[in-house]
């Protein structure tokens, strides 16, 4: 871009290319947008996440254990064997279920009141939606941009 080192950068997923911030302004895929005293930035983001919900269901006793105990008692005459059959085959059953949901995230970046050549009032907007959004990289870019805008204003007064 130029001999000056970029303060921050990120690679856009929407095809607009590399976004870079310098002390003088923003470069998007090589196109320059200069700061003005009215330049401002807004950035908001929320990363995507995975939600897991674990729950258990208990199914009602179907009576099979009692029928099995009766059959074992009739065959063997042993109450202890009948009790064992009732315990092994009877009672309610408990199942564990896991539901997983992918919650998409999003990040929005808006930079306003930029200058291209002599033309003022240009804005840049970028948005990402999905499970794997670049929240940290874009927030770092926004923080560096805000610092550069403040420094520009201090020098332009």
Q: Which residues of 107-119 are buried (b: 16+ CB within 10 A; e: fewer)?
A: bebebebbbeeee
Helix (H) or strand (E) segment spanning residue 75: helix 64-76
Which residues on adjacent β-strands are paired with residue 39?
none
Predicted model pTM = 0.70
Q: What is the pLDDT of residues 78-120, one digit of tens each?
A: 988 888 888 788 777 778 889 999 999 999 999 999 999 999 9
């Amino acid at each position: 871009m130029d001999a000056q080192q970029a303060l921050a950068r990120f690679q856009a997923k929407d095809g607009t290319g590399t976004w870079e911030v310098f002390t003088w302004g923003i470069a998007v895929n090589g196109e320059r947008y200069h700061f003005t005293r009215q330049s401002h930035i807004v950035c908001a983001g929320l990363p995507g996440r995975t939600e897991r919900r674990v729950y258990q269901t208990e199914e009602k006793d179907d009576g099979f254990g009692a029928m099995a105990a009766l059959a074992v008692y009739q065959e063997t005459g042993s109450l202890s064997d009948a009790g064992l059959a009732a315990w092994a085959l009877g009672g309610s059953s408990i199942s564990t279920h896991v539901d997983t949901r992918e919650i998409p995230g999003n990040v929005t970046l808006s930079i306003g009141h930029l200058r291209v050549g002599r033309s003022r009032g240009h804005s840049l907007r970028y948005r990402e939606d999905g499970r794997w959004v670049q929240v940290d990289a874009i927030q770092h870019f926004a923080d560096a941009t805000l610092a550069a805008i403040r420094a520009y204003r201090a020098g332009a007064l």
